[in-house]
Structure 1
């Protein structure tokens, strides 16, 4: 049976466009029809612009007819997280504090600009919690975004709308942001690939209130698509003072010529970074994934960094930024936002300059430790999350002892502190016959700063050796 275009990878779509076997107009139409019929149950999109998408698709078809596509994503349906400025569409960041009529919305964020330049078809904007503040996706403005594997469960966050859209075949690719796990958390919960590149690899504008914790990156169904999308997103943008130079070579090309085995790769495996605790199904699937890597020839050592949970330092840096966001809207804003955000800010507000410097010092120390680890190992692998997706509409799992989202995401935010590239790839599904059965789990792969290529190589080798769970395959 032929695969519907909505389920094809970006690389397969582009191959089909180039050969004349497929059309960007057909692929975009199929995507828009799927959104119309299926998104009501998921609530991944907060804006869909069918007319604009079809115009872009027609333009792309014309370029292919002339043999002049703009790049590796020309004609591919893409969605944009509603934290990123997108010319012609309001960016409301999941908040009632913003009015779509307050401005003309004429600016593209760097990632959006690079996608347009590459000919991608922008179909719409996808949901985020208010200002991207937490690890699930619901907001007073847009409601609850649900997991397409089980709509009673959360899609994760804060890039939950994008993860749900890609997993459900409503968007081939999406661009997300990640200030503490916001790409990797929802990608893991929704069973897709999500990549937080090295800090500065993908420029951001305006500057994030969360400072150098914040990254932008690709969310896809395959590793090859992540590499192709990263090539596009990595273009230098002068509006980001910390942006890296445009790379001089393609990670997608590197990936295509990389060895299929991992015999020259050294892997450090940490079950819990020294302070986490995993559900049995997560531990089982992670152990199995590590055995696959070992079977591909990698040298794998189990390590225990012996860290104490760095959440205290992360909270100071993160919630200082959140306080700054709300301060721009005046003193009454706190009564108009997500009650969970208001409560979190009441818990995390008494920070001094000395506290901020202490948090920054810990951040630097973690960076030194990881730099030392990567002198011995090419990558560190961990579970992405300690559990599977929990009830939609809840900020934390049932019976949680803490209301902080960091309490159930212990393996993601440390690598925002260090600025390292980190990718999640599905490690399997939960088994059994209980209510948690059939939900995705994820494996996290982390490399030294600026070694995004190594992360992608290990992920691609793993992907080639296993059959990744697919929502399409479960239907």
Structure 2
């Protein structure tokens, strides 16, 4: 395997600057990784080698002239097939969307990356309309995990996580409406951030409303910070977009966690963890204490909001499929079931669920007056086989039943970062770092402090090591 494919975006740019590696060479390495692994893991729905190499050649000329367009100019990357991308179809894992287009518009994040000279390799897999926590669909099949191709990569941004994990471009962008960048990050041993809602503008508006975020998917926190710099900022097409941030998210990244007050909750007061996951997470928490943080074991104080989340999520799914009754049999059977449930909710149900969100926001606001950060497991389990929709013997097939620590923070719109923190039975375990709304820099700083003291993010997956 070409070693260039596993170099971080930050290191690639340093090598472009010193003229020891070119964007064309890096893009060729990423394309070789795609050729090597795509048939085994099914991470991409579209790959454009010729287009990527042409953009890489343009970037190479800019670097030679000392005029890069931005901090990721010439870095090969992928895009989840949820984001509109000029010239490429956006099919959202569904057979219902007409591939013919026309496809003439970029989503805000895609437009910013294109303007910054990023090299688009292709589009990555998603479950149909990004509705669940594993990545499979009637249109494209299942996406495998870099550590075991017969295990799920997680979802709904599973294709992006697997691509990053196997060197098919060092970075990607995904979406997260209930854990969709963090679940696959945990399952694949990669890094992903769900930022504060509105920080990354979203267009077109998601049918899942203000649960849906976009986020960077990378191997390191440093790469996530740089990618976040590029894809944040006000866009008039998003009515809820925040003002453009001042400064870089990489500023202060290495300042450490000394003196920070960190609350650690092993289960948020209602979850249950596999023993190996809990052991890895508890070991990870000691890293923060050894780095000078004040760590206290404490639950944040809210009950499992899953029923309220279901009202919000299932109603959104019903809206997605509105007008497609004649094609209902062609969609994911699990999606059909939640659509049927979602059609039964009324405005009062929706408002009651929204009230649960608001109460959670108050609770977490109070929590963060005492604690700067909250740490939890990202997932209570490791990945499971692609033939299943839930772990073997699990009491429910609903994806929310085995993702209890991710969707709450979509409801509260807080920044939440997943970093790899160990293994259980040979599969990665993720650690989730949650901050108050607008404390994205602090969350990234804590993640960097952890990665400065551990090497879990540097481990190469089994498909690479053989």
Q: TM-score band (shorter)?
A: over 0.9
Tell me if structure 1 keeps the 8 A contact 2:92–2:127. yes
Aligned to 2:453: 465
Q: Output aligned runs, 1:299-448, within 5 Å.
A: 299-327=294-322, 329-430=323-424, 437-448=425-436
Partner Cα distance (1:250, 1:241) in 2: 24
Q: Output aligned runs, 1:271-282, within 5 Å.
A: 271-282=266-277
Secondary structure class of the residue paired with 2:318: helix
1:24 aligns with 2:30: no
Partner Cα distance (1:37, 1:388) in 2: 25
Secondary structure class of the residue paired with 2:27: helix
Secondary structure class of the residue paired with 1:453: helix
Aligned to 1:66: 65
1:4 aligns with 2:12: no
Cα displacement string for residues 11-43 of structure 1 (whole angstroms, at most 9, x for unaligned residues)? 000000001001000000111111112111000
Partner Cα distance (2:333, 2:342) in 1: 14
Aligned to 2:196: 198
By how many angstroms is 1:469 displaced? 4.5
Secondary structure class of the residue paired with 2:251: helix
Tell me if structure 2 keeps the 8 A contact 1:219–1:226. yes
Cα displacement string for residues 335-359 of structure 1 (whole angstroms, at most 9, x for unaligned residues)? 2201111123334442121111110
Q: Output aligned runs, 1:43-442, within 5 Å.
A: 43-101=42-100, 103-255=101-253, 258-259=254-255, 261-327=256-322, 329-430=323-424, 437-442=425-430
Cα displacement string for residues 116-159 of structure 1 (whole angstroms, at most 9, x for unaligned residues)? 11111000000000000000000111111011101111000000
Cα RMSD (Å) = 1.3
Cα displacement string for residues 347-396 of structure 1 (whole angstroms, at most 9, x for unaligned residues)? 44421211111100010000000000111111000000000001113221
Partner Cα distance (2:396, 2:309) in 1: 16
Deviates more, 1:57-66 or 1:244-253: 244-253
Against the structure 1 CA distance between its residues 473 and 333, is the aligned structure 2 distance closer, same or farther, given a 3 Å change threshold? closer
TM-score normalised per structure 1: 0.96
By how many angstroms is 1:468 displaced? 1.3
1:456 aligns with 2:454: no
Partner Cα distance (2:300, 2:52) in 1: 48
Tell me if structure 1 keeps the 8 A contact 2:173–2:215. yes
Cα displacement string for residues 84-124 of structure 1 (whole angstroms, at most 9, x for unaligned residues)? 000000000000001211x2200000110011111110000
Tell me if structure 2 keeps the 8 A contact 1:134–1:395. no
By how many angstroms is 1:473 displaced? 6.5
Q: Which runs of 5+ in 1 are unaligned?
A: 431-436
Secondary structure class of the residue paired with 2:384: coil
By how many angstroms is 1:471 displaced? 5.0
Partner Cα distance (1:187, 1:208) in 2: 22
Deviates more, 1:240-249 or 1:173-182: 240-249
Tell me if structure 2 keeps the 8 A contact 1:313–1:359. yes
Partner Cα distance (2:83, 2:367) in 1: 34
Secondary structure class of the residue paired with 2:321: helix
TM-score normalised per structure 2: 0.97
Cα displacement string for residues 215-268 of structure 1 (whole angstroms, at most 9, x for unaligned residues)? 00100001000000000010221110111111111111231xx42x42221100
